Structure formats: C-alpha cells, structure tokens
Amino acid sequence: MRKVIANPLALAGLLIISLILLLALLAPWIAPYDPNAIDVKAILLPPSMQHWMGTDALGRDIWSRMLFGARISLLVGIVAVGIATSIGIVLGAVAGYYRGWVDTIMMRLVDIMLSIPTFFLILAVIAFLTPSIWNIMIVIGLTSWMGVTRLVRAEFLSLRNREFVLASQTLGAKDFRLIFIHLLPNSLTPIIVSSVLGVASAVLVESGLSFLGLGVQAPQASWGNILTDGKEYIQFAWWLSLFPGLAILITVLGYNLLGEGLRDALDPRSQ
C-alpha cells in the first residue's frame, strides 16, 4: 500500500475511483431529486443552482441521474470483470499447469475467441436476449476472459519448474494445492492489473450498449442512456451530452491510471 500511495499515477487513479465509488454509494442520500421524477415545468433547463447539471427533455435532474447512473455503470464493470477474471484464472491455470494437449486446446479456444470482434459478438448475443443489467454483465464477462487466460498461463509456465514448486511436489502436494496455494498467489500481480484495466473497458462497453439502446433500459439511468437522450438536443442542450461523456472519460482514465500505477508498484522488476 505504501508503494501504491507513493506512486503518483496509482494515487491519482485511486483518488478518482474512490470519489466516484463514494458518490455512487451515497447517491440515494445526496441526490437532490428523484432521478425518474418528471417535471414538465423544468424541461431542458441549463445548469443552475437548482439543477447543477441541468435537466433533460422530461424535466428530470441530470445530476441526480448521473449519481444513480454511476451505480449501474460501475456495478456492470466490476461484476463483468469478476466473471471474466474467474473464468480466465481457471482456464489459464489449467493450461499453464498441465501443458501438452490441454494447453493446445485451451489456446486454440482463446485464438478463436480473439478472432471475433468482441463488441459485435456482444451486440449479436444481446440482440437475442432481453436487455437487462444482469444479461449485460454476464455477456460482457463471458466474452472478456481471453486476456486474463493468457496472462495466467504465461505466469504458470514461468513458475511451473521453480524450486518451491518442485519441493512441494517432492513432499507429495496434490495438483489443486500446487495450483491454488503455490502458483496462483505468485501470479496475482498481472491478474490484479488486468482486472483493474478491465473494469474501464467494461464501463465503456456498457455505455456503448446503453447508447445504442441495447443496454440498461429507461427509466433506469446509466451514463450511456443519458447520452442517448441528449443526442437529439446536442445543438442547444449541450449539457445532456457533456456531463455523462465527462463521467465516462474520468472513470476510464481513473481505472487506467490505477492499473498502470499498480503495475509499476507491484512489479519488482520495475524497481
């Protein structure tokens, strides 16, 4: 933790993400209005003291919708990355530990998945499912595990013949213990970094899906569908596109800074 705090990149990313998470968690208490409350007397009002980020075409307060939208966008990113990381760890560990034909099959499966444009694959799957937050999280997770798999496999291949692993084998340790007690803990650095960077990618994917109308459905707020609502009024209601766009930008930047900083802080080879 001292290394992370001492690293300017990691500290900047950590502060940004912590602030956004805090705002998202406190949204029900700090949002000045109901995010779905329609007010026909306050349609398309510019930013003011009453409405810090203005209102939309239905008179809904954008600041309140941004706060509740942060909960959705961050939840999708974190859960989707959790699913992808879990799959990637299991497949990468099996491929790197057993090698041989098991490794060959796993890596060909990874190559096949990588040959398919991920976003279009997600679009195709979502088109056949009912758009919902749970479907989005599951689909993003099931189509984003390939990078983690390759990272874990590479780490296992480099650690497989180290002395501490051979000593454990000599003492009769089973495969499960070798994988999850000895090898996996020594492979966590690239997994942590990849997971942090993956959250940023998942937030972007969710925002893109919601912008296209295939993600979180109205009236539930997410940054992507707030952007969608604003595209028809962008010439005279600039705030509808500016604030959710900035939120996505700052969140992705924060996760990228944190990921880069963690890599520098946790990797002993960079010292």
Question: What ranges do the domains of the chain cover?
Answer: 2-30+58-270
Q: Which of 56-70, 81-95, 220-234 shows the lowest mean pLDDT across its residues?
A: 220-234
DSSP letters, the chain, are -HHHHHSHHHHHHHHHHHHHHHHHHTHHHH-SS-TT---GGGTTPPS-SSSTT-B-TT--BHHHHHHHHHHHHHHHHHHHHHHHHHHHHHHHHHHHHH-HHHHHHHHHHHHHHHTS-HHHHHHHHHHHS---HHHHHHHHHHTS-HHHHHHHHHHHHHHTTSHHHHHHHHTT--HHHIIIIIITGGGHHHHHHHHHHHHHHHHHHHHHHHHTTSSSPTTS--HHHHHHHHGGGTTT-THHHHHHHHHHHHHHHHHHHHHHHHHHHH-GGG-
* 230-253 pLDDT per residue, tens: 888 888 889 998 999 999 999 999
| Rounded-to-integer distance, Cα 178 and Cα 165, Å | 7
* 134-179 pLDDT per residue, tens: 888 888 898 889 999 999 999 898 888 888 888 888 888 888 888 8
Residue 171: phi and psi, rounded to 5, are: -80, 0
Peptide bond into 32 cis (omega under 30): no
Share the mean pLDDT of the chain.
87
Confidence of residue 91 (pLDDT cuts 50, 70, 90): very high
pLDDT at 271 exceeding the cut of 60: no
* CATH architecture observed for domain 2-30+58-270: Orthogonal Bundle (1.10)
Confidence of residue 6 (pLDDT cuts 50, 70, 90): confident
Q: Report pTM.
A: 0.87
